[in-house]
């Protein structure tokens, strides 16, 4: 199928700059502050040697994420596109590499993340209101359908919903911060203990909790005055996330102590219980559900734009490249993404652990492509300076090199963690290679090094 099969309006329509700074920041904060900050601190504390190491690593994680955001800001400012990473990889390394990235996101990475977030939402809502053994699956299904339909209606609806979801999400974090710092009794000083800190492991947990900030570039073509605003939006969003993470972890430490945080399976709930009793612990389930809802909505928005870019780049997938001029959204890509996510939710109903493992096993693929995007900064700089008025990452090439080194370390760590199971990601890419032979058009002029 090619672009000529699309309605004339959709075949010619392109993203328009309709979103403001608050929408961009809401997307950044909303997709980063997911359920992880309610769970990861226990793992970080368990591997940290001291409170200073515990808090210092959260600050370092924020700094490293901001460095990566500056690199992404240069690419998004110079080359704004709804394709985001797909577009950067296409420009730097050619259509084949970009296709494999887009395929991996559509097949597992983004759709799998959406399904997992839907189940996090379902699990925590079911803890408050359950109506049977399949309650979580039903909630997860309704979330995927509801958010897909909401964002299919238009970017305005999805972006406005994202703003208010993020506000509610931040309010939940602030409640935990206030409870831990001001209301809950301070934890008794723990006796000094000698234990070695696994700094590398701590940093991996922290950086995973900061993950998702790169998704903001998918709205670079829809952000007003994108060339000037994309860098402040990403950096300010991550700055706010870093501040919130430091404050909430200070709250955890004050209320529970380092050993208490490390030994807690539900650290935020324990803090709220210390401050407000059982009612406080119950309320945190709703806060985590809102956080998962916010991250899921942002995932729907950004994920569909990768598929849209696939349709625009490969004429045989042209139906995916339909952009509805009235609604300002890639409708076909949105529906396909929702359909795949629903299939994954259904599969997870029968074996949740296996499904979660498959998504984790594709983590090396994600970090590999993130490393490639970091490399794209160098490749595109060598080809010529960014367009006038676009953002340039400061301290080049030091900061891009730091970003690439961080991504390479996380790639190594994810391979070490998954071991032979990392072959699942290789299998996903192998299927993508086969599909590439079916969809590529040899007659088209090459892009980059394709």
Confidence of residue 446 (pLDDT cuts 50, 70, 90): low
Closest by Cα among 421, 366, 410 to 108 = 366
| β-strand partners of 324 | 329
197 assigned to some structural domain: yes
Planar angle of CA 224, 110, 393, nearest 5 degrees? 45
> Span 185-213, mean pLDDT?
80
Section 259-284 average pLDDT: 90
Decide if 449 is inside a domain.
Answer: no
The CA distance from 448 to 113, in Å, is 30
Identify the three-state secondary structure at position 17: coil
pLDDT of residue 449: 40
Cα distances from 188 to residues 182, 258, 260, in angstroms, run: 15, 11, 10
Q: Please give the Cα distance from 211 to 333 (Å, whole number).
A: 23
Q: Is position 448 within any domain?
A: no
* Percent of the chain topping pLDDT 70: 94
155-169, 232-246, 380-394: least confident range: 380-394
Using an 8 Å Cβ cutoff, are 375 and 149 in contact? Answer: no
Structural domain includes residue 444: no
Phi, psi of 223 (to 5 degrees): -90, 130
At how many degrees (to 10) do helices 331-350 and 135-153 cross?
180
CATH of the domain at 228: 1.20.1740.10
Express each pLDDT in 322-331 by its tens digit.
Answer: 999 899 999 9
Split at pLDDT 50, 70, 90, the class of 385 is confident
pLDDT, tens digit, for every residue of 157-174?
Answer: 999 999 999 999 999 999
Q: Would you say the pTM of this structure is higher than 0.75?
A: yes
Q: Which residue has the higher pLDDT, 441 or 115?
A: 115
For residue 450, being part of any structural domain is answered with no
Asked if the model's pLDDT at residue 196 lies above 70, the reply is no
Q: How much is the pLDDT for 450?
A: 38
192: number of Cβ within 10 Å: 6
> Quick one: tokens of 196?
């070695």
User: Residue 94 above 60 pLDDT?
Assistant: yes
Distances (CA, A) of 407 to 75, 115, 233, 310, 444: 17, 25, 22, 24, 33
Least confidently predicted of 192-196, 356-360, 363-367: 192-196
Position 351 in a domain: yes
Using DSSP's 3-state secondary structure scheme, residue 166 falls into helix
Beta bridge partners of 19: 223
Instruction: Report, as an integer, the average pLDDT of 373-392.
Output: 92
- The residue to which tokens 């909505």 are assigned: 297
Q: What is the pLDDT of residues 36-88, one digit of tens each?
A: 898 889 989 988 988 999 999 999 999 999 999 999 999 999 999 999 999 99
Write down the H helix ranges in 328-443. Answer: 331-350, 352-361, 363-383, 398-418, 423-439
Give one DSSP letter per residue of 261-279, joined into a string. Answer: HHT-SSHHHHHHHHHH-HH
pLDDT at 35: 82
In this prediction, residue 388 carries a pLDDT of 85
Q: Is 110 left (phi over 0), alpha (psi -120 to 50) or beta?
A: alpha
What percent of the chain clears pLDDT 90, i.e. is strictly above it?
Answer: 72
Q: How far apart, in whole angstroms, are the C-alpha atoms of residue 414 and residue 403?
A: 16
Contacts of 304 (CB under 8 A, 6+ apart): 151, 329, 330, 333, 334, 337
Average pLDDT over residues 277-291: 89
pLDDT attached to residue 266 = 87
Q: Which two tokens stand for residue 149?
A: 């339909």
Kindly state the average pLDDT of the residues 249-258.
96
Asked whether the predicted pLDDT for residue 11 surpasses 70, the reply is no
User: Does residue 445 sit within a domain?
Assistant: no
Tell me the average pLDDT of the chain. Answer: 90
**Cα–Cα dist 77/387, whole Å:** 9
Per-residue buried b or exposed e for 87-117, using 16+ beta carbons within 10 Å of the residue's own CB: bbbbbbbebbbbbbbbbbbbbbbbbbbbbbb
Taking the C-alpha atoms of residue 42 and residue 261, their distance in angstroms, rounded to an integer, is 5
Cα gap 211→206, rounded to integer Å: 9
Q: Which domain holds residue 295?
A: 3-439
The pair of structure tokens assigned to 166 is: 């993020």
Encoded tokens for 350: 């029968």
pLDDT of residue 8: 47
Give dist(CA 29, CA 441) in Å, integer.
39
Tell me whether the omega of the peptide bond preceding residue 379 falls within 30 degrees of 0, making it cis: no
Domain total in the chain:
1
Cα 27 to Cα 234: distance, rounded to the nearest angstrom: 9
Model pLDDT, residue 215: 93
pLDDT band per the 50, 70, 90 thresholds, residue 4 = very low
Measured distance CA(431)–CA(435) in Å, rounded: 6
Q: What is the pLDDT of residue 257?
A: 94
Q: Is 446 contained in some domain?
A: no
């Amino acid at each position: 199928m090619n672009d000529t099969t699309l309605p004339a309006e959709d075949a010619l329509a392109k993203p328009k700059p309709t979103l403001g700074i608050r929408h961009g920041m809401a997307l950044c904060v909303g997709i980063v502050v997911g359920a992880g900050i309610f769970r990861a601190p226990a793992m970080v504390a368990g591997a940290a040697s001291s409170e200073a190491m515990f808090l210092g690593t959260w600050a370092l994680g924020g700094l490293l994420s901001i460095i990566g955001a500056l690199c992404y800001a240069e690419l998004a400012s110079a080359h704004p596109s709804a394709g985001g990473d797909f577009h950067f990889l296409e420009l730097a390394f050619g259509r084949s590499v970009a296709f494999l990235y887009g395929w991996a996101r559509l097949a597992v990475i983004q759709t799998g993340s959406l399904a997992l977030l839907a189940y996090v939402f379902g699990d925590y809502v079911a803890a408050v209101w359950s109506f049977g053994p399949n309650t979580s699956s039903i909630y997860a299904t309704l979330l995927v359908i509801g958010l897909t339909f909401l964002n299919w209606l238009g970017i305005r609806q999805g972006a406005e919903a994202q703003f208010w979801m993020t506000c509610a999400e931040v309010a939940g974090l602030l409640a935990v911060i206030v409870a831990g710092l001001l209301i809950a009794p301070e934890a008794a000083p723990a006796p000094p203990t000698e234990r070695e800190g696994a700094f590398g492991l701590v940093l991996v947990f922290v950086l995973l909790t900061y993950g998702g900030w790169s998704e903001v570039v998918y709205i670079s073509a829809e952000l007003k005055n994108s060339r000037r605003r994309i860098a402040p939006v990403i950096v300010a969003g991550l700055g706010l996330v870093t501040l919130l993470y430091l404050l909430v972890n200070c709250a955890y430490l004050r209320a529970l102590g380092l050993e208490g945080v490390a030994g807690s399976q539900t650290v935020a709930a324990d803090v709220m219980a210390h401050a407000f009793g059982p009612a406080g612990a119950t309320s945190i389930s709703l806060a985590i559900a809102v956080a998962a809802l916010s991250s899921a909505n942002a995932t729907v928005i950004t994920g569909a734009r990768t598929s849209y870019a696939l349709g625009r780049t490969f004429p045989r997938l042209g139906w995916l490249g339909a952009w509805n001029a009235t609604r300002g959204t890639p409708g076909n890509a949105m529906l396909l993404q929702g359909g795949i996510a629903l299939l994954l939710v259904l599969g997870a109903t029968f074996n949740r652990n296996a499904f979660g493992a498959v998504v984790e096993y594709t983590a090396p693929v994600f970090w590999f492509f993130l490393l490639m995007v970091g490399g794209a900064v160098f490749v595109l700089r060598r080809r010529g300076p960014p367009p006038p008025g676009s953002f340039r990452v400061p301290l080049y090439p030091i900061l891009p090199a730091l970003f690439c080194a961080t991504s390479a370390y996380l790639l190594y760590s994810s391979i070490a963690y998954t071991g032979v199971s990392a072959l699942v990601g290789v299998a996903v890419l192998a299927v993508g290679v086969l599909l590439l032979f079916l969809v590529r058009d040899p007659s088209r002029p090459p892009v980059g090094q394709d």
